[in-house]
Amino acid sequence: MPERPERPIILFGKPNTADRNTKGGGSPKIGFPSHSRQASRLEPKLEALQKVIDNNKILLQQSPTGIEPEKTLVFEVSGELKSFYTAVKNLGDDVEWIFDTSEYMLVTDDFYVCKMDKHTKTISRDETKSKFTGKVYCILANNRALEEMVSLWKSYAKNPNMSFPTGKTGLRDVFNNLIDIHFWGYKERIEETGILEAWKEDLQLEPELSEVKCEIELFYRKSKELQQRRENDVKDLIQSAGGQVLGSTVIDAINYHALLASLPRQTVQSIIDKKDVALASAEQIMFFQAVGQSVIISGDNISDSTLQVNVPSIVSDEPIIALFDGLPQENHPYLNGLLNVDDPDNYAAHYTVSARMHGTSMASLIAHGDINNIRHQVTHKIYVRPIMKSKSTLNGTGEEIPDDILIVDKVHEAVRRLFEPDAGRVAPSVRVINLSIGFPCRIFDRLMSPLARLLDWLSFTYRVLFVVSAGNHSDDMDVGMSFSDFSDLSMEQRDEVIIRHLNNNLRFQRLLSPAESMNALTVGATFSDDSVYTPDARQILPCSDDMVSPISALGRGLNNSIKPDIIYYGGRNTVMQNIMSTTKLHWRETLTKAPGTVSAAPFDITGGAQKIMYSYGTSNAAAITSHEASRCFDTLSDVFSDAGEVLPYEFTALLIKAMLIHGAEWGELFKKFNFALGSPQRASDFVYRFFGYGKPNIDKSVECTKNRITLIGYGELKDGEAHLFDLPLPFDEFSREKILRRLTATLACFSPITPSRQAYRSAQLWFSIEGAKKHLIDNRIDVDWQAARRGSLQHEIFENNEIVVWGTDDVIQLKVNCANVADDNFSGSVPYALMVSFEIDATVNIDVYERVSTKISPRITV
């Protein structure tokens, strides 16, 4: 067991209750056309809608069931219209809200961004803005609802002063702000999902392939009767196309309803060719998505190990960290006795030892970190649930998420198995689940993927933290110069080239599902490891140590929230000349030696020396972060034990989440990116997409120092409530001197979700600083304050060195606030953890820890 720190973290005293603050912020004003102009613009759109209504009447007359046809309408508007949501609810059972999302709209003569002159208070068009954030609303309506909307439009077009029926005034706001209206179709259902590219690749790589599996996600309906009816309709269409339904699942909490289907090759080819396939135009279907996901690590990456790894002799049987991944080699000398493998699907029966690459590597990194430099090891066994299978490839064996499962269903079942008695309750002690798998076919673009929604709901329901890799984009990099010219650059110059490359390719390096998950801790990769490497003429390092890894997926998250949350040790790799292109850098593919992160590799235990592998990427970064989560858990156990309290089970995951973030800052990365990108406007609200809150220093989170004290608190809040935490100040004569002071505050919560709304968080938590004297700590550094409040993790750093005098009883108050956002009727409570550090310049000989800790009132357990 590690030694206990000389200055441990302190528990906050019991917080006082208070009323919450206002949230602040706001949206720019959008100019829209006059009523007469809007009437003429929309006339052809509404005529098209009328034709559909008339056609639906004919279909209804021909229908043997007498069930009214339904159509999915997409509204593009120039603003956030809560009134429209109310209007849809008041249209009754004839219409159902599906979702809303934000989207960038191009400025036109009719719709544009406005600005206000500060002196004259006049409003005019802002010519510097070429686009603005608009809104896309999607509803499902039958003929009666469509007819009512068209009727109201016709009346409003004639008389802008007409009175709308009670509760339906929101339709007037839509008519005023409507940019476009159309029906959900082939473009949304198929073209924009990436399924066509996946199908084309499958058919090309496997000419003999007779069937192709896919996920068919249906528009979610609240009514169980409608769910079943629409599922049966789609099943009939699949069977009519010669396909089979292999499975189905409904998870009401995340508005998810999907089928797993196998389609004939000719049907898939017809859909690719845009031929008339009834299944492709089925109104019940929201998306076609690819299934399965391969993870290929070449056996050539494995090498003999001379490293000595002493496995801990005493390890608790109660796991804290869970790994959902491939099957690891349990009896590897570096892992023997550290794993608790639970394989209810019996994937091991078809898993050769040589194929157990990814799971073995991830388990090793969670247990020991980079084994080139082991600093600490897990004290509890790691629970392992295989969700990948062994797969034969042209290069030998690999691993894959099977294409005969729906991954959302599998992860849901695996988490329930941990905690629910009727599912086994096999490891209820787990507080952190590592998911180092991303799905290239699900690149984040405005809409949350079903798997991300699932992780958010599971986090809130079971109070468990998911540590998720941001995803990798390891294609060759076009740097616009020859390999020799790039090699001649200094490391600082290479960094500039790589930063500009990342910025120019932001659209192609977005997060991979489920990295956009709001409640998960999403981890990108730094270009760093503990190996020693000497470059040669043919292979060079593309950037400096601790830079953002060039293959790491980039943010932002939903509603421009901060994603990835942090970046962490991901390993390095070298690049070489691409023989097909003079300006592209090609990543080294055979990693039998440094650089890279070192972990255990599978081998025949009877056949000789134990094996290791070198690797790099965000999978490693997530696994090493989970390794640090184990260290944080051990620290928390000691802190609560020393305080005479029991570590609160329902808040443990959040306390760990706050600790993992608390030591993060931008440091030199901000200077590098700001310089390379030419100091972009509002840089603090721009550069976080590359590295989130920065790279954490976990040492700062697990113990205090003479010049720094750290306190932790926790609780839960309902709408309108707030908690006040008092942080006493260390009074001394130094308060009259010019000394740097810093306050770091981290708030982590598990937000409940409303999956059909872009606002998404049913309730929002945020902290504010109260009662601090002016200039005490009022200079905010790093991330923009609004960006920090957009997710479920707020991490801010304040500092100042101006002379400020305070008394012995002065305190800084931190107020944690709660307000409903996406669901005005949400009446539950939101759990949170708060971590706060106060520090002064380390060169000043003042014992801040001693002076503050003696002023903290003990927490009263109720």
Q: What is the mean pLDDT of residues 309-324?
A: 95
Rounded-to-integer distance, Cα 587 and Cα 123, Å: 53
Using the Cα atoms of residue 667, residue 673, residue 678 and residue 683 in order, give the sign of their dihedral: negative
Identify which of 391, 400, 449 has the alpha carbon closest to the alpha carbon of residue 194: 449
Q: Is the pLDDT of residue 860 over 50?
A: no
pLDDT of residue 372: 93
Across 2-6, 350-354, 400-404, 407-411, least confident range: 2-6
Minimum mean pLDDT among 279-283, 558-562, 693-697, 803-807: which range?
Answer: 803-807
Look-up of token digits 């009175």:
163
CA 424 vs CA 168, 317, 427, 460: distances in Å: 49, 17, 9, 20
Residues comprising the chain, all counted: 862
Asked whether the predicted pLDDT for residue 859 surpasses 60, the reply is: no
Q: Strands, DSSP E only, in 107-160?
A: 112-116, 123-125, 131-142
* Mean per-residue pLDDT, 10-16: 91
pLDDT(293) > 90: no
Could you tell me the pLDDT band of residue 315, with boundaries at 50, 70 and 90?
Answer: very high
DSSP class of residue 253?
G
pLDDT, tens digit, for every residue of 723-737? 999 998 886 655 667
Q: What share of the chain is helix, strand, coil (3-state, %, to 5)?
A: 30, 30, 40
pLDDT band at 844 (very low <50, low <70, confident <90, very high): confident
pLDDT exceeding 70 applies to what percent of the chain? 95
* Cα distance from N-terminal residue to C-terminal residue, the chain: 32
Three-state DSSP class for 205? Answer: helix
CATH class of 299-657: alpha beta
Residue 639 has what DSSP assignment? H
In sign, the C-alpha dihedral spanning 527, 531, 532, 534 is negative
Tell whether the model's pLDDT for residue 416 goes beyond 90: yes
Strand (E) or helix (H) holding 823: none
Please say whether the dihedral angle defined by the alpha carbons of residues 777, 778, 782 and 783, taken in this order, is positive or negative: positive
Under the phi-then-psi rule, with left for phi > 0, alpha for psi from -120 to 50, and beta for the rest, what region is 446?
left
Residue with tokens 């570590």: 647
- In sequence order, what E strands does 787-859 have? 793-800, 811-820, 830-840
Q: Distance between CA atoms of 335 and 221, rounded to whole angstroms?
A: 47
Under 8 Å between Cβ of 694 and 796:
no
Q: Which of 82-86, 167-171, 252-256, 390-394 has the lowest mean pLDDT?
A: 390-394
Distances (CA, A) of 53 to 97, 172, 283, 286, 783: 19, 21, 15, 21, 50
- Residue 861, pLDDT score: 43
Place of tokens 């939101």: 830
- Taking 90 as the threshold, does the pLDDT of residue 221 lie above it? yes
Instruction: With residue 311 as reference, give the H or E element that holds it.
Output: none
Question: 528 and 570 in contact (C-beta within 8 Å)?
Answer: yes
Question: What is the model's pLDDT at position 547?
Answer: 97
Q: What is the mean pLDDT of residues 328-333?
A: 95
Count of Cβ atoms closer than 10 Å to residue 504 Cβ: 12
- Output DSSP code: residue 511: P
Q: What is the CA angle 550-552-556, rounded to 5?
A: 120
Q: Is the pLDDT of residue 509 over 90?
A: yes
pLDDT per position as a tens digit, 699-728: 999 999 999 999 999 999 999 999 999 998
* Digit-coded pLDDT (tens) for 75-109: 999 977 888 888 888 888 889 999 998 888 889 99
Fold of domain 10-24+704-853: Jelly Rolls (2.60.120)
* Contact call for residues 702 and 635 (beta carbons, < 8 A): yes
Question: For 450-472, what is the mean pLDDT?
Answer: 97
Edge-to-edge strands, sheet with 256-264 = 244-251, 256-264, 211-218, 285-290
Strand extents, DSSP E, 607-649: 611-615
For helices 170-177 and 35-62, angle between their N-to-C axes, nearest 10 degrees: 110
pLDDT for the residue numbered 25 = 58
pLDDT of 495 over the 80 cut: yes
Average pLDDT, the chain: 91
Are 112 and 70 within 8 A, CB to CB?
A: no
Say if residues 743 and 662 touch (Cβ distance below 8 Å).
Answer: no
Rounded average pLDDT over 313-342? 96
User: What would the pLDDT profile of 783-832 be if each residue is shown by its tens digit?
Assistant: 999 999 999 999 999 998 887 777 777 888 999 999 999 998 899 999 99
Determine the Cα angle at 798 with ends 795 and 802, to 5°. Answer: 175
Closest CA to 677 of 781, 797, 558, 548: 548
Domain boundaries, the chain: 10-24+704-853, 32-184, 188-291, 299-657
Cα(406)–Cα(232) distance, integer angstroms? 18
Three-state SS at 581: coil
**434 three-class SS:** strand
Q: How far apart are CA 399 and CA 409, in angstroms?
A: 19
State the amino acid at position 673 in one-letter form.
F
Residue of 643, 615, 526 lying closest to 14 (CA atoms): 643
Q: CATH topology of 188-291 equal to that of 299-657?
A: no
CB atoms near residue 550 (< 10 Å): 23
Helix (H) or strand (E) run with residue 622 in it: helix 618-642
Does the domain at 188-291 match CATH 1.20.1640? Answer given as no
Q: Is beta strand 256-264 parallel, antiparallel or unpaired with respect to 211-218?
A: antiparallel
pLDDT of 330 strictly over 90: yes
Place of tokens 């209504």: 53
pTM for the full predicted model: 0.94
3-state secondary structure of 102: strand
